[in-house]
Amino acid sequence: TQLLEQSPQFLSIQEGENLTVYCNSSSVFSSLQWYRQEPGEGPVLLVTVVTGGEVKKLKRLTFQFGDARKDSSLHITAAQPGDTGLYLCAAGGATNKLIFGTGTLLAVQP
């Protein structure tokens, strides 16, 4: 079974602070996705990373795929209350079998 371990599990910070969420596995993946899920909604894709060592920026969010394609990180600069939500990394196993990481619940206090 492929496991995607995320850390930290919970994070509560003040507006304006920076944070990093990690997604680690012992398996190699061809790609990895990051989703954010807000309360009362389904997960929404933020980014897909494909190449080992790749860095992608989405406004204040920076995503990195590890060189060995076994891990990834999400860094948020100057967090805003609107960043609050459940952050999920996800990777594919067998065809059409997308497995989610253990999740990081982020609360940004105004």
Partner 1 sequence: DTEVTQTPKHLVMGMTNKKSLKCEQHMGHRAMYWYKQKAKKPPELMFVYSYEKLSINESVPSRFSPECPNSSLLNLHLHALQPEDSALYLCASSHARQGLSGANVLTFGAGSRLTVL
Tell me which residues touch partner 1 (CB under 8 A).
29-31, 33, 40-45, 48, 50, 86, 88, 90-92, 94-103, 105
Q: For residue 66, what is the DSSP state?
A: -
Tokens of 91: 């990777």
Tokens of 106: 């982020």
Name the residue nearer to partner 1 (CB basis): 79 or 87: 87
Whole-number minimum distance, CB 37 to partner 1, in Å?
Answer: 8
Name the residue nearer to partner 1 (CB basis): 13 or 86: 86
Tokens of 2: 């492929």
> In degrees rounded to 5, what are phi and psi of residue 75?
-115, 130
Name the residue nearer to partner 1 (CB basis): 4 or 76: 4
